[in-house]
Amino acid sequence: MKDLRIETLANHLIKHSVRLKEKETILIEVIGEDGIPLAKALMKEAYKIKAMPFFNIINPSLLKDMLEGLTEEQIKIYAKHDLQRMQDMDAYIGIRASSNTAELSGIDSTKMNLYNQFYTLPVHFEERVKHTKWCILRYPNDSMAQMSKMSLEEFEDFYFKVCNLDYAKMSKAMDALVELMNCTNKVHIIGKGTDLTFSIKGILAEKYDGTFNIPDGEVASSPVKDSVNGYITYNTETTYNGTTFQNVHFEFENGKIVKATSNNTPVLNEILDTDEGARYIGEFAMGLNPYIEKPIGDTLFDEKIKGSFHFTPGDALEESDNGNRSSIHWDIVNIQTPEFGGGEIWFDDCLVRKDGVFVLEELLPLNPENLV
CATH at 45? 3.40.1830.10
In this structure, the answer to whether residues 328 and 194 fall within a common structural domain is yes
Each residue's pLDDT tens digit, 309-337: 999 999 999 889 999 999 999 999 999 99
Does residue 168 carry a pLDDT above 90? no
Distance of CA 16 to the CA centre of its chain: 18
Q: What is the mean pLDDT of the chain?
A: 94
In this structure, the answer to whether residues 193 and 141 fall within a common structural domain is no
End-of-domain residue from the set 101, 129, 163:
163
77 burial (CB, 10 Å; 0-12 / 13-18 / 19+) is exposed
Distance of CA 142 to the CA centre of its chain: 21
End-of-domain residue from the set 130, 145, 163:
163
Which residue pairs, CB below 8 angstroms and at least 24 apart, start in 147-152? Answer: 147/101, 147/296, 147/297, 147/298, 148/296, 148/297
For the chain, give percent helix, strand, coil, nearest 5: 40, 25, 35
- CB count within 10 Å of CB 299 equals 21
Looking at residue 1, its pLDDT comes to 47
End-of-domain residue from the set 128, 163, 198:
163
Q: Where are the alpha helices (DSSP H) in the chain?
A: 4-12, 36-48, 60-68, 72-87, 109-115, 129-131, 142-147, 152-163, 167-182, 265-272, 299-302
In this structure, the answer to whether residues 126 and 218 fall within a common structural domain is no
Domain span holding position 209: 167-370
Quick one: pLDDT band at residue 2, thresholds 50, 70, 90? low
Q: Rounded mean pLDDT of 132-155?
A: 92
First to last CA, the chain: 29
Count of the separate structural domains present in the chain:
2
- CB count within 10 Å of CB 26 equals 25
In this structure, the answer to whether residues 219 and 206 fall within a common structural domain is yes
In this structure, the answer to whether residues 9 and 71 fall within a common structural domain is yes
In this structure, the answer to whether residues 11 and 151 fall within a common structural domain is yes
In this structure, the answer to whether residues 123 and 220 fall within a common structural domain is no
Each residue's pLDDT tens digit, 201-253: 999 999 999 888 899 999 999 999 999 999 999 999 998 988 899 999 999 99
What pTM was estimated for this model as a whole?
A: 0.79
